Amino acid sequence: MSPHVLAYLRLLRLPTVFTALADIFLGYLLKHSALISDDGSNPLPSFLMLCLASAGLYLSGMVFNDYFDRLIDAQERPDRPIPAGVISPASAFRLALALMLIGLVAARCVGVPSLLVAVGLSALVLGYDGGLKNTPLGPLVMGSCRVGNVLLGASAVASVGNVFQSPQLPIALGLGTYIVGVTLFARQEATVSRRGALLGAAVVINLGVVALAMFVNKSTVVPPEHRLPALGILAMILFTLDRRLAVAITQPTPAVVQVAIKVLLLSLVVLDATLVYAFNGNTEMAMATVALLIPAVGLSRLIAMT
């Protein structure tokens, strides 16, 4: 792989896009029983366009992040592609804009509800990267981006009102809470983090997963035979995460904290797959969702996720 291509893949944080695609799997399968239907309809094209929309918007956010942070990165992370001089700021800006436009066009191809959700998601991305990232609102905006991405997956419906319904809205809010915690956990990842801040972030992360588990337990949509296995998987996920969080809190160095963040991000795919299993009941689709870990983990060995 040429160094220039690798630089662009680093700029895009390519491994993380699979966590965004897992949200689309989840959101779409909350509204549709499968990706291929036997009743004559064909939901697969709209699903693929929503995947393209999500990937475009998510990757544009990654590039816009480095574009707006290029002066800070010159001091804290001079090896990133823009401060290292491998990719010019102008090229990065054009790429980010093109990716966002691709995302919006793909959403419009699905329908007006998808376009409206994508426009709102684009505004959140630009707001976060453009100035809100380092404010108290930053984690909330990032969590809202995850909420919007799950709802984007559920947006292949007749009207916008149908997007903001149960079960996708409470599930999206639970995952958004989880991402608020992850964002708080990552705020000082380039330097030695404060243990108190990491502990507070860990509490928020736990709240997000517990909220999801409570909704799975109480929802009448979840088949009884899926409830207990799903709750067991969520418990194992939380136990694994808390072990990793505890290590980072006791050793809050950049290397240890960044490994914890990587685990937190990859765990989103497993959370999404578990929720697909719980609410959709399609084991094959749950397996297809969790299979997104394969390219994510493989690429993360070459390209940093943070």
Q: Distance between CA 163 and CA 51 in Å, rounded?
A: 16
Q: Residue 25's Cα: distance from chain center in Å?
A: 12
Q: What are the structural domains, with CATH classification, of the chain?
A: 3-300 (1.10.357.140)
- Residue 294 has a pLDDT of 96
Q: How many CA atoms lie within 13 A of 239 on its CB side?
A: 6
Of 175, 260, 170, the residue nearest 209 (C-alpha): 175
- E strand or H helix at 63, and its extent? helix 44-68
pLDDT digits (tens, 9 = 90+) for 6-55: 999 999 999 999 999 999 999 999 999 888 776 667 889 999 999 999 99
Q: Distance between CA 108 and CA 244 in Å, rounded?
A: 40
Q: Distance between CA 216 and CA 233 in Å, rounded?
A: 12
**Predicted TM-score of the model (pTM):** 0.95
Q: Distance between CA 34 and CA 155 in Å, rounded?
A: 15
State the virtual CA torsion across 182, 188, 194, 197 in degrees, nearest 10.
-30
At 199 the three-state DSSP class reads helix
How long a stretch of residues is the chain? 306
Sign of the C-alpha dihedral, residues 218, 223, 225, 229? negative
- Residue 43 has a pLDDT of 87
pLDDT along the chain (306 residues), means of 10: 86 96 97 77 91 98 96 90 95 98 98 98 97 94 98 95 95 98 92 92 98 96 93 97 96 94 96 97 93 95 85
The amino acid sitting at 257 is: V
**DSSP state letter for 256:** H
- Residue 39 has a pLDDT of 65
Q: Distance between CA 21 and CA 52 in Å, rounded?
A: 9
For 170, 182, 184, the CA distances from 177, given in Å and listed in that order, are 11, 9, 11
Q: What is the CA radius of gyration of the chain?
A: 19
pLDDT digits (tens, 9 = 90+) for 163-193: 999 999 999 999 999 999 999 999 988 788 8
Asked if 54 and 110 touch (Cβ cutoff 8 Å), the reply is no
Sign of the C-alpha dihedral, residues 40, 45, 48, 53? negative
Asked if 185 and 205 touch (Cβ cutoff 8 Å), the reply is yes
HEC secondary structure over 120-188: HHHHHHHHHHHHHCCCCCHHHHHHHHHHHHHHHHCCCCCCHHHCCCCCHHHHHHHHHHHHHHHHHHCCC
